Structure 1
Amino acid sequence: MNAHITKLLYIILLLIAPVAANAQGAKPTAGSISGQLQNEQAKPMDYATVTLLRGKDSSVVKSTLTNDAGKYQFDNIISGRYIIKATTVGYQPTFSPVLEVEADEIHAPVIKMQQSSRNLQGVTITSSKPLIERKLDRTVMNVENSVLAAGNNALEILERAPGVTIDKDDNISLKGKQGVTVMINDKLTYLSSAQLSALLRSTDGSTIQSIEIITNPSSKYDASGNSGIINIKLKKNKQSGTNGSLTAGAAYGLNFRDNTSLTLNHKQGNFNFFGTFSRGDITRQNNINIDRVVDSASTSTYFKQLTSMKNSVHYNNYRFGADYNTSAKNTLGFVISGDYTNEYNDNNSKTSLGLTPDANDSYQNTLSKIKQTYRNIAVNLNDKIQIDTSGQELSVDLDYSKFNNNSFANYDTYFFKPDGSSLAPTLFLRNTTPSRITIYTGKADYTYPLTKTLKLETGIKVSSVKTDNDLKAEINNGDGFINDTSRTNRFVYDEKVSAAYVNLGKTYKNTSIQAGLRAERTSSNGNLVTNNQVVKRTYTDFFPSIFINQTLSPKHELGISYSRRIDRPNYDNLNPFRFYLDQYTYEQGNPFLKPQYTNAYELNYTYNKTINVSLGYSRTTDVSAEVLLTDTIKKATYQTRANLQKQDSYTININTPYTITKWWTGNINVTGFYQSFKSDSLSGGMLNNGQAAFNARTTQTFLFAGSYKAEVTAFYQSALTYSIFKIRPQYTVDAGVSHSFYNKKLNLKLAVSDIFNTRRNNVSTNYQSTNLVVRQKNETRLGRITLTYNFGNSKIKSREHKTGSEDEKGRVKSGN
């Protein structure tokens, strides 16, 4: 780790030491209850549900799960009389004696749970987690039992999460802001937006447990992600013995697609093995119409472009690992995951050109066939040590990831006069683009409860990333293909980040406070080898965060938070290679992109643990924004990223679940926002764009006799402004129904997405010499059928492990 960060962490710990010493000597002012659950053999009951009930009326105050040692704790408890209720599958509900809580810590007697001897055949359990659940620092979308998850992939499910939108290029926005960090099982993905969307498309919805939305993360998390973190939690079979599930699904819209996944788990004694394999074939259609005008000194040229894109993907994803409890306090584990994916693109682009809007002076037809292969693997080694029974623990993660992506493309362009006769010789181009990305990360996290109400968290992390992209471009000169020196290039990028953080959390009677500081030192080197163009950067940043939560009364809670964050450019955004749709339309990276910084503030109010209202403000400087620019000499329009001066964002979010009857429940999520973009040097002009906008999503859930469940979701996004773009409104309605039978081991789900086929992406811009309108329609209306069979034993939950390399992998391009 860098010496500067070591010194910083040392200084922070010296500053905290007197505070901790004083806190240890002071009498805690908040009441707390802690205890342990055991079975008849006095063994810990891990991951059981523990509920705190009021003694006077048995109303629910809080609920939690026991940890691996069967222990639980409730903090910030108002003085009074309480009862502990413990429940878990296969055991009788068990209650503690009445506990009197004052301004001290209460150690509840050990609760002994007895196995249930009742015959449960014929009993129907209809309770389940709500689809949308609000927690202290995050919103959770419980995907596991949702009907709409059936047959959808992870990207399609993510579109249904509160406040999340995905644009025509699969860029993810949260509450109207791009720059979202996506994690999988608390691990950064280190993927570019294109690779991330490919990975999420190849992840079956049946393998997802939940999606967590964290709009203002603490210093414990990597500082990347200006609009927050989306954490996708994958299922890990939680049962003892040997068990698993098999899922098969099919869907049809304009094209057919299918998916299959198998999950296995074996737990015996101190050993637990788990594994998931999924495969599938996805074919989808995408039609794009682009009308644009290119103004030069003396003339204007009008373009009308019609593009039909057919994309076919065959994917194989796997994830397996094992945990071994070497002792009651130490668990060693490993996780290996990867994907083996082939993708084919067959595009047909027709472009007409004229000096007036209605004239067709010439036209061209570009046929492109692109094959991409993705061979990716990630390995994680982890160790978790419970140092003592007070909650002191140390966890260590070592990660290695290797991404091998290859692209082979052929572009054939034919030129015609208005009457259809040939205008010029056919242009034949082809590209080979091997890409290699290697990532090493190591991190350690330490937790030390100084008292029952004061907790210290600290840790370090180092990462090393190297990307190597080698574009080999060729052109046919009539005698065969030769090297195209104007396009051939190689780009090598190295990045090293060292980080350290410290968090200090304190709970009082009705107040909890957490303050933290994270330091990150970055060294990067971007080398455009062919042009001998090198961009080097070294910088150290500090990222403070603070969270204050106040319980005003049993039904009213208030929270305020602040954090500073950074977004380093994705690797493909730095890559200056050009990727063509045709000679007038292409995409290229910007090796001179700088990181962007965000200061974010949020105020949260929660009523009765259900209705949540949040107000937010953030300012981002050096905004890395997607823009369209025009080369007026070549009359070409290209997509790239540029640093704008600043972005201001104001948001309000309201989320409320509700119950109409015992069989009809719902949830409404509404986000309003205003965001403005300013730049005084974009393409030689002044940019000052801003607009108020909102999106709303409502989900209705219906439970019927005979284990039938139905869901209907409606979504609306108003018109909005992003960077130089005006984005038109869009809306969609989804519906699905499921039925469980064969003792709930078999589940059948039927669903239709975008029932009325209304989901479109229509974008326009008129800035400087760029004047265009884009109308895009993807294949969004799909009918799905999914069948899931659960088999094996089902008693005890196993450990869920989170690895340490998610941030770096989130910036890599992946191909599913």
Structure 2
Amino acid sequence: MKILGYSLISCILFCYLSFCTIKAAAQSQPSTEISGKITTITNEALPFASLMLFNATDSKLVKGAVTDGSGAFIIGNVSPGNYYISGSVLGYKTYKSEIFTLAPEEKKVLGIIQLQTENKQLQTVTVTAQKPLIESKMDKVVMNVENSILATGNTAMDILQKAPGVTIDNGVISLVGKTNVMVLINDKQTYLSTEQLKDLLNSLQSNTIQSIELMTNPSAQYDAAGNAGIINIRIKKNDSFGTNADVNIGYGQGIYRKTNGGITVNHRSKILNIFANYNYSDREDFSSIDVNRSVLSSGTSTFFQSSSLEKFRYKNHSFKVGGDINISPRSVLGFVVDGYLWHGDSRLAGTTRVGPQPGVVDSSIVALNTGSFPANYFNYDVNYKLRLDTVGTELTFSGDYSTSTRKEAFYFNNQFLDENQNEYRPDYNFRNLAPQKIDIYVGKADFRHPFSKSSRLDAGFKYSAITIDNVLKYDILQNDGSYLNDERRSNQFIYDEKIGAAYANYNTQIGSYSIQAGLRVERTSSRGNLVTGGSIVEKSYTDLFPTLFLQKKIDNSNAITASYGRRIGRPDYASLNPFVYYIDQYTLRYGNPFLKPQYTNSYKIGYRFKNKYTVDLSYSKTKDGIAVIFVPDTKTKTIAQTDANLNSINSYSLNINAPVTFTNWWRSYNNVTLFYNQYNSDVIEGAQLQLEKLAWQASSNHTFTIDNKTSAELSGKYVSPNVYGVFNIKSYYGIDLGLRRAFLSNKMSVKLAVNDVFKTVGKRTSFSNLPNNSYTFDRNYDSRVVRLSISYKFGNIKLKSTDKNGSSAEEEKSRLNKL
């Protein structure tokens, strides 16, 4: 309830402190001042904290101040003498400094003052300060998942769909209307394909997540990948001494059931910090797809209308074990082993009708397809941190090894019927076996040195190497029940990539200006080997990625910001595999080994009002933008999905964030984003493409405190019609509701939530019109779910779930797209 506390006391403090300041003005010296910054013990800024300056001789109040949005404060025009300072904010213990002396014309810097969380016992009711659901900061938007009711029983994928500015369509994540988003977990990249990233995000339960950070223009310290920006998922951490455990179980019911459960155990002492968690989920889902397509060839049109219903079942085991050892007061050695075991099954029934015009059927294909896609992922990380002095100079080293496998097996059974529903040719049955093996090695070193309280240098190196071995076996079912391999449609593709990077990032403050300038250099070498065809494509290139951030403080409550950054989007690994993957007689997919990386230059200017409201205007231009396209063959009537470099993608956006406190029991966070995307290309079927549209999306999240044990949440989101690549996407909206009640002295929590109350989020429609071809996709999935979750804490319940470490691997895992 931090923001609620800030809002209630800030007006009172302002009037009182202003009076005290005027009263003390007569004894001021123009050139003296006292400054510092107030944060939590985890170095999170505390805005609207109150500062009181007392005379050490008689303990009389001399002056006061309130911290700004970054937690900083300045008390100016103070006479020389002996003083002490007191700092406080609702929900935290009051801080009182030692007595210090202020000399004539001295600008005394008190540094960082850390406040500890305070639990106050009021008639057996524990009141604890909580963060708002969504916070807007200078360089990012933070969604605090830890205490969210609507996150109950959900996965990371479910929660991301509720985040402001984020949309997800069939696993493709967009941020402020742009795709190619880099996903991190605890500042470390996931290095997984689209399918594997979906597996991971669907296996990551909400009870393990602390917050989600949305960054549209990251600094040079982060990998340069991700043209649209970065989504960083932070796992819960343990900050206190002792031992605790948290057990949770949940049940959800949509059209099909969804169950989950898990346990987290933490132990922290002065020397050793160990943690472990295990989560299990078993859920069922469905996807219905209707596709209408027309093909014009030699003046004759052919119409395809297909309808399919696919049912899925996913079982997932995920775990994490790790620890930190305090080798000395200045050095910490840590390790983490984490992973997941995933098993999915699917069963699809579908019919494709073919005819010269809609409603007239010449023939049909009836499909009954089954599949399984087991996968596993393991990551091993060792890290070491060394503090070199007492002012904050430190070195951090980390090494990672990640390995994952996925063994897809899909069986396609096709029956061919004429207009009278009689078989006119034998059934055609085949299977695709697609085992995959990925190995990733990452080494990283980072250095941080503060030159003063207002300036700091960060620098580092990183090296990553990845090997991906993909095998596709296309087998045809024989009359005797055995399968015969079709070598023409089978292949093996091995991809190797190495990236070396170095960066430097400098932060400083000059008067009312804050400046951050950075430069990152990356050297990429890749080799794609189509073993079956004996074709090899090798590439090497070096790029520079500068970043610049400026902030001008108008006063303690208002500021102007500006930023620039250059980023890269390397082709997804599977998009480089040129071999054809057959889905059915008329649908296939293949990659493009000659894809070039896409480069984006992004510019943003913003205004922060009263340390709460923000308005940002952004522009980005992407050269050789990569987009999914469909390539039809008018002779065979097939349609193929592949990737291509467009000429350019221009994106304009206006983003407004407005937190509002209506009463002391009702507060909200509201976001509106307008974006205008232009896709320009002349490679789509040899015809020029210019698809552009002004679109917008809005979200509003509300939290209600009913009493000291009961709270509720309401969340709404709307996405207008928009465009992506060659697709037009229709609008959708969704409403979520949640209720929470605490029992047994807050040790037990019961949460009830309804996701997508009106069953509107799961219905998505997109369409495209190209020369000689047009098609429309209507997709629906199980989005309206009622969830009940119960959690119980044992031991020291002041502890948070622990997870201080993660993989140092970053950019590569997210690019294993569609493998």
Q: Is the 8 A contact 1:198 1:814 kept in 2?
A: no
1:103 to partner: Cα distance = 7.2
Q: Is the 8 A contact 1:283 1:311 kept in 2?
A: yes
**Relative to structure 1, is the Cα distance of residues 592 and 539 closer, same or farther in structure 2, using a 3 angstrom cutoff?**
same
Find the counterpart in structure 1 of residue 429 from structure 2: 428
Q: Is the 8 A contact 1:31 1:509 kept in 2?
A: no
Find the counterpart in structure 2 of residue 412 from structure 1: 413
Find the counterpart in structure 2 of residue 525 from structure 1: 527
**Relative to structure 1, is the Cα distance of residues 114 and 544 closer, same or farther in structure 2, using a 3 angstrom cutoff?**
closer
Find the counterpart in structure 2 of residue 511 from structure 1: 513
Find the counterpart in structure 1 of residue 384 from structure 2: 383
Are 2:80 and 1:79 equivalent residues in the alignment? no
Find the counterpart in structure 1 of residue 252 from structure 2: 251
Partner amino acid, structure 1, of 2:67 = V
Are 2:744 and 1:766 equivalent residues in the alignment? no
Partner amino acid, structure 2, of 1:806 = E
SS at match of 2:226: coil
Q: Aligned partners of 2:775 and 2:347: how far apart in 1? A: 24
CA RMSD for the aligned pairs?
2.7
Find the counterpart in structure 1 of residue 473 from structure 2: 472
Residue among 638, 641, 653 paired with 1:639 = 641
Residue among 723, 731, 738 paired with 1:721 = 723
Q: Aligned partners of 1:730 and 1:342: how far apart in 2? A: 31
**Relative to structure 1, is the Cα distance of residues 29 and 222 closer, same or farther in structure 2, using a 3 angstrom cutoff?**
farther
**Relative to structure 1, is the Cα distance of residues 84 and 162 closer, same or farther in structure 2, using a 3 angstrom cutoff?**
farther
Q: Is the 8 A contact 2:714 2:737 kept in 1?
A: yes
Q: Is the 8 A contact 2:519 2:546 kept in 1?
A: yes
SS at match of 2:195: helix
Find the counterpart in structure 1 of residue 667 from structure 2: 665
Q: Aligned partners of 1:683 and 1:112: how far apart in 2? A: 62
Residue among 540, 545, 551 paired with 2:542 = 540
Residue among 757, 765, 778 paired with 1:775 = 778
Are 2:591 and 1:594 equivalent residues in the alignment? no
Q: Aligned partners of 1:263 and 1:214: how far apart in 2? A: 29
Q: Scaled by the length of structure 1, what TM-score is found? A: 0.90
Q: Is the 8 A contact 1:50 1:85 kept in 2?
A: no
Deviations 1:196-228 (A, max 9, x none): 112101111111110000110110000001110
Find the counterpart in structure 2 of residue 334 from structure 1: 335
Larger displacement relative to structure 2 (680-689 or 473-482): 473-482
Are 2:802 and 1:810 equivalent residues in the alignment? no
Residue among 660, 677, 680 paired with 1:678 = 680
1:807 to partner: Cα distance = 1.9
Q: Aligned partners of 2:253 and 2:158: how far apart in 1? A: 15
Q: Aligned partners of 2:352 and 2:107: how far apart in 1? A: 75
Q: Aligned partners of 1:792 and 1:383: how far apart in 2? A: 29
Q: Scaled by the length of structure 2, what TM-score is found? A: 0.89
Are 2:786 and 1:786 equivalent residues in the alignment? no
Q: Aligned partners of 1:29 and 1:197: how far apart in 2? A: 56
1:378 to partner: Cα distance = 0.3
Q: How does 1:194-205 map to 2 (within 5 A)?
A: 194-205=195-206
1:397 to partner: Cα distance = 0.8
**Relative to structure 1, is the Cα distance of residues 123 and 685 closer, same or farther in structure 2, using a 3 angstrom cutoff?**
same
SS at match of 2:309: strand
1:581 to partner: Cα distance = 3.9
1:86 to partner: Cα distance = 6.0
1:75 to partner: Cα distance = 5.7
SS at match of 2:575: helix
Larger displacement relative to structure 2 (237-246 or 793-802): 793-802
Find the counterpart in structure 2 of residue 53 from structure 1: 50
Find the counterpart in structure 1 of residue 24 from structure 2: none
Find the counterpart in structure 2 of residue 754 from structure 1: 756
Larger displacement relative to structure 2 (590-599 or 215-224): 590-599
Q: Is the 8 A contact 1:274 1:320 kept in 2?
A: yes
Q: Is the 8 A contact 1:50 1:84 kept in 2?
A: no
**Relative to structure 1, is the Cα distance of residues 741 and 297 closer, same or farther in structure 2, using a 3 angstrom cutoff?**
same
SS at match of 1:124: strand
Find the counterpart in structure 1 of residue 499 from structure 2: 497
Find the counterpart in structure 2 of residue 96 from structure 1: 97
Q: Is the 8 A contact 1:46 1:796 kept in 2?
A: no
SS at match of 2:811: helix
1:29 to partner: Cα distance = 12
Residue among 136, 149, 152 paired with 1:134 = 136
1:237 to partner: Cα distance = 3.5
Find the counterpart in structure 1 of residue 570 from structure 2: 568
Find the counterpart in structure 2 of residue 321 from structure 1: 322
Deviations 1:126-155 (A, max 9, x none): 641111101221110001101100011110
Find the counterpart in structure 1 of residue 272 from structure 2: 271
SS at match of 2:636: coil
Q: Aligned partners of 2:661 and 2:39: how far apart in 1? A: 34
**Relative to structure 1, is the Cα distance of residues 158 and 494 closer, same or farther in structure 2, using a 3 angstrom cutoff?**
same
Find the counterpart in structure 1 of residue 439 from structure 2: 438
Q: Is the 8 A contact 2:703 2:714 kept in 1?
A: yes
Larger displacement relative to structure 2 (319-328 or 101-110): 101-110
Deviations 1:153-180 (A, max 9, x none): 110100111100001x210000100011
SS at match of 1:486: helix
Q: Is the 8 A contact 1:319 1:338 kept in 2?
A: yes
Q: How does 1:22-33 map to 2 (within 5 A)?
A: 32-33=35-36
1:77 to partner: Cα distance = 4.1
Q: Is the 8 A contact 1:199 1:814 kept in 2?
A: no
Find the counterpart in structure 2 of residue 801 from structure 1: 805
Q: How does 1:113-132 map to 2 (within 5 A)?
A: 122-125=124-127, 127-132=129-134
1:575 to partner: Cα distance = 2.7
Find the counterpart in structure 2 of residue 741 from structure 1: 743
Greater RCO structure (CA 8 Å; 6+ sep): 1
SS at match of 2:365: strand
1:594 to partner: Cα distance = 1.4
1:30 to partner: Cα distance = 10
1:269 to partner: Cα distance = 2.3
1:93 to partner: Cα distance = 2.8
Are 2:210 and 1:209 equivalent residues in the alignment? yes
Partner amino acid, structure 2, of 1:463 = S
Deviations 1:8-40 (A, max 9, x none): xxxxxxxxxxxxxxxxxxxx9997437999xxx
Q: Is the 8 A contact 2:64 2:75 kept in 1?
A: no
Find the counterpart in structure 2 of residue 703 from structure 1: 705
1:298 to partner: Cα distance = 3.9
1:576 to partner: Cα distance = 3.3
Q: How does 1:7-18 map to 2 (within 5 A)?
A: none
Residue among 649, 654, 657 paired with 2:651 = 649
Partner amino acid, structure 2, of 1:235 = K
Are 2:234 and 1:233 equivalent residues in the alignment? yes
Q: Is the 8 A contact 1:103 1:509 kept in 2?
A: no
Q: How does 1:34-53 map to 2 (within 5 A)?
A: 52-53=49-50
**Relative to structure 1, is the Cα distance of residues 713 and 49 closer, same or farther in structure 2, using a 3 angstrom cutoff?**
closer
Find the counterpart in structure 1 of residue 463 from structure 2: 462
Find the counterpart in structure 1 of residue 5 from structure 2: none
Find the counterpart in structure 1 of residue 289 from structure 2: 288
Larger displacement relative to structure 2 (93-102 or 738-747): 93-102
Q: Aligned partners of 2:376 and 2:355: how far apart in 1? A: 45
Q: Aligned partners of 2:32 and 2:398: how far apart in 1? A: 36
Larger displacement relative to structure 2 (583-592 or 686-695): 583-592
Q: Aligned partners of 1:481 and 1:705: how far apart in 2? A: 66
**Relative to structure 1, is the Cα distance of residues 250 and 138 closer, same or farther in structure 2, using a 3 angstrom cutoff?**
same
Q: Aligned partners of 2:376 and 2:111: how far apart in 1? A: 52
Q: Is the 8 A contact 2:747 2:797 kept in 1?
A: no
Q: Aligned partners of 1:681 and 1:114: how far apart in 2? A: 59
Q: Aligned partners of 2:343 and 2:131: how far apart in 1? A: 37
Q: Aligned partners of 2:656 and 2:294: how far apart in 1? A: 41
Q: Is the 8 A contact 1:76 1:508 kept in 2?
A: no
Q: Aligned partners of 1:59 and 1:392: how far apart in 2? A: 30
1:806 to partner: Cα distance = 2.5
Deviations 1:236-272 (A, max 9, x none): 3333211021111010111011001111101122100
Q: Unmatched 5+ residue regions in structure 2?
A: 1-30, 53-61, 79-83
Q: Is the 8 A contact 2:38 2:45 kept in 1?
A: no
**Relative to structure 1, is the Cα distance of residues 704 and 265 closer, same or farther in structure 2, using a 3 angstrom cutoff?**
same
Q: Is the 8 A contact 1:236 1:274 kept in 2?
A: no
